[in-house]
Amino acid sequence: MAAVLLIDDDVELAGMLADYLRGDGFSVELAHDGESGIAAALGGRFAIAVLDVMLPGLSGIEALRRIRAASQMPVLMLTARGDDMDRIVGLELGADDYVPKPCLPRELAARLRAILRRGSTAPAAPAGELTVGPLRLNPAQRLAEWRGRGLELTSTEFNLLEVLARNAGRTVGKDELSQQALGRPLARYDRSIDVHLSSIRQKLGPLDDGRSPIQTVFRQGYQMIPG
């Protein structure tokens, strides 16, 4: 039973979502403000947090910033429908995914399972470490190194990097990346993949020749340079 922390100041909505998730096999605890949500998230008792962007006082964006400063636990953001700026900022700060509000409890449960599933199991592929140029991945332990230096990656970032590494030299479409890394189809106008990959590029840095190890292939997807 995965333990979920739901941080939302809307007591009625949070209670409804919590009741549904509990009935769907999750363990759920609630926090209704950013400060208590951060303290609970960093307590080490939860597998994943659901964090509303529109919190009173300390915003959900600031709460995410503080959580990410100390933990790589998966975080799913609840954002206002159509509010692209909060969505992009949340992803840039390390949110694993987002769900627009108002959301269907069933969709929220499906997104949570997708994130947790991808974070706890390696895809059906050859076992052992994976090396592409200066990149080394250990999918079983969810560890990543670049030029011998450990990388701090969110669960979703690790998933994306693993998919690209396993397909090094081949262009991988955004829909395939979304299915394999986020566990869901790519929605129209969804920029999640682009934002996550921008963060990964910053963490990796350039190759010796100055190129990014992850190349954008116009209108097709992304490709990792084989090394």
CATH of the domain at 149: 1.10.10.10
- Percent helix, strand, coil in the chain (nearest 5)? 40, 20, 40
CA distances from 131 to 87, 175, 226 (A): 32, 24, 9
Coil vs helix vs strand at 151: coil
The token pair at 11 is 């007591």
pTM, to two decimals: 0.84
Q: pLDDT band for 118, please (50, 70, 90 cuts).
A: confident
| Same domain, yes or no: 104 and 162 | no
Task: Residue 147: give the domain boundaries.
Answer: 130-224
**Percentage of the residues of the chain whose pLDDT score is greater than 70:** 96
81 has a pLDDT exceeding 90: no
Q: What is the pLDDT of residue 119?
A: 66
Instruction: Give the separation between CA 30 and CA 7, rounded to whole angstroms.
Output: 6
Q: pLDDT band for 127, please (50, 70, 90 cuts).
A: low
Q: How many domains does the chain have?
A: 2
Residue type, 168: A
CATH of the domain at 43: 3.40.50.2300
Stretch 215-226: mean pLDDT: 94
